[in-house]
Structure 1
Amino acid sequence: MLGMYDMPATKDANDRFWKLIQGHLGFGPQYLTRDRDFWDVWLDPELLFAQTCGMPYRTRLHEQVKLVGTPDYALPHCPRGHYYSVLVARTKDGREMRELVSGTFAYNEGLSQSGWAAPITYLLDQNLKPEKLLETGAHALSAQAVVEGRADFASLDALTWALLTEHSNLGQTLREVAITPPTPALPYITAIGQDAACVATAVSAAINDLAASDRRLLHLKRLTQVTPAEYLAVPNPPKPKTLMARN
């Protein structure tokens, strides 16, 4: 499963990426899984290859899966294999962050590194807290909530923001207000019973074999090795209900 960045514009490129991985492995499913719950796939004892998020990995998955590696998207402002969150507001809304927090913050879910953990940690470090929350279920839906005025600001991971600006008009209707400090990017994982080193070798070879157009479309540069300890060192902020209960 490559569902974390599997929007319509990248679907075919992800399919080709998986076929290359499968070819280098010499075995595996013919097609990517797109019809099952993420957690069902991540915890499947037969899982061969999937991408998860840093917060699920460190809070629930790290003892139940093996880390294959971390894709490097060559994002600005961060080291290899890292990413960050972009806090966005409407282009016509000129308020700064200290004013925006008096409104509604849209986030995809409370177990998201880029949609919840990174922005809330960033805000709390500045003694700021959103007045209201809106859970949307997806980064793109958080962005749309801001565009429609149902939220005042939202947090998107840097790659999702890049993809949305490339393949939609959101880059014209939304603006960057702030970015968070970088943390390890979304890791590739496999089941405990799989050979993670073998999968990593196949993934690296597949990235090298991708057509240049697909590498550009997916923003994939290389596979890097970020240690489990680096993922586990990232702080966990309060959960949404806990945060809202604070005075």
Structure 2
Amino acid sequence: MIAALGMYDRPETAAANDALWSEIQQNLGYGPDGLTRDQDFWDIWQSPDLLLAQTCGLPYRAKLHDKVTLFGTPIYDIPDCPAGHYYSVLVAHRTGADKLSDFDGCTFAYNEALSQSGWAAPTKALLESGIKPGNLLETGAHRASAIAVAEGRADLAGLDVVTWQLIQRHDAFANDLKVIAKTEPTPVLPLITAQDRDPAPLFDAIEAAIAALPAAALDALFLRGVTHVPKADYLAQPIPIPPESFDLRQPAR
């Protein structure tokens, strides 16, 4: 069996994630002794041995929803956001412009095309505001997108708010960034298991685990609980335009 909690796993949160999994395993009475951290996310998500993992909303609705079982949605400590939802922040360099309208034609950094919080939600917000980037920079990770802005290689980046809170807490380069805008809330990264597994014991086990976890571990993960967000709510979100088809702002001639 495979258990993985890699979406918000970094050196500063690893012990808290391990503690969370230990509690879940004890509540279930079975499962691997430790979390898997050395496999590709897509291999984990699609494995018939998957017991528990967290994916992103866009991979779930685009490629996974008919291949896995959704069993829950975490509740994170996110100000002014409905339970089981989150949003993206659009960050710029602290010395840059303060209004989103000033970023037309900018270089936009994103982690990957199949990211709800790094690509889908931010580009939807940009287009609805009449903003078109002039260049796109794919970085491979939210933190790498933030670094690209801090270093001046990009003007704007979309980050999910939990990642942003972790960056603010642990990374000095956060002092070089500021939030320009926020996107509309969408369902949080879903918890999934293999298609043929009963989801109810997993939900009960993680709910009890969160209730038993020390406050310091919960705070490390910004984790507050778990809820049920309907599958239909995930599937209702639009599939975004891929980067290769995105209409970039052409420079004036």
TM-score relative to the length of structure 1: 0.97
1:212 maps to which of 212, 215, 220: 215
Q: Percent of aligned positions with the same letter in both sequences?
A: 53
Letter in 1 for 2:118: G
Match status 1:9 vs 2:20: no
What is the match of residue 138 of structure 2? 135
221 and 95 in structure 1: CA distance in 2 versus 1, 3 angstrom threshold: closer
Question: What do residues 58-114 of structure 1 show as CA deviations (whole Å, max 9, x unaligned)?
Answer: 111000000010000031122100000000000111242222232200000000000
Structure 1 runs, 4 residues or longer, greater than 6 Å off = none
1:145 maps to which of 145, 148, 170: 148
Counterparts of 2:61 and 2:218, CA distance in 1: 28
RMSD after superposition: 1.2
Counterparts of 2:186 and 2:248, CA distance in 1: 27
Counterparts of 1:171 and 1:246, CA distance in 2: 28
What is the match of residue 192 of structure 1? 195
What is the match of residue 227 of structure 2? 224
Counterparts of 1:43 and 1:74, CA distance in 2: 29
Q: CA deviation at 1:246?
A: 8.3
What is the match of residue 119 of structure 1? 122
Query: Unpaired runs of 5+ in structure 1?
Result: none
Counterparts of 1:181 and 1:199, CA distance in 2: 29
Query: Unpaired runs of 5+ in structure 2?
Result: none
Counterparts of 2:18 and 2:168, CA distance in 1: 22
Residues 87 and 117, structure 2, Cα contact 8 Å, conserved in 1 = yes
Number of residue pairs aligned between Structure 1 and Structure 2: 247
Question: What do residues 163-211 of structure 1 show as CA deviations (whole Å, max 9, x unaligned)?
Answer: 1101112331100000000000001100012111111100100000100
Letter in 2 for 1:4: M
Match status 1:29 vs 2:32: yes
Counterparts of 1:127 and 1:151, CA distance in 2: 19
What is the match of residue 203 of structure 1? 206
Question: What do residues 99-149 of structure 1 show as CA deviations (whole Å, max 9, x unaligned)?
Answer: 223220000000000000000111111222111000000000000000111
Counterparts of 2:144 and 2:104, CA distance in 1: 19
Residues 101 and 129, structure 2, Cα contact 8 Å, conserved in 1 = no
Counterparts of 2:73 and 2:249, CA distance in 1: 35
Secondary structure of the residue aligned to 1:49 is: strand
Counterparts of 1:91 and 1:80, CA distance in 2: 30
Counterparts of 1:246 and 1:97, CA distance in 2: 15
Describe how 1:57-136 pairs up with structure 2 within 5 A: 57-136=60-139
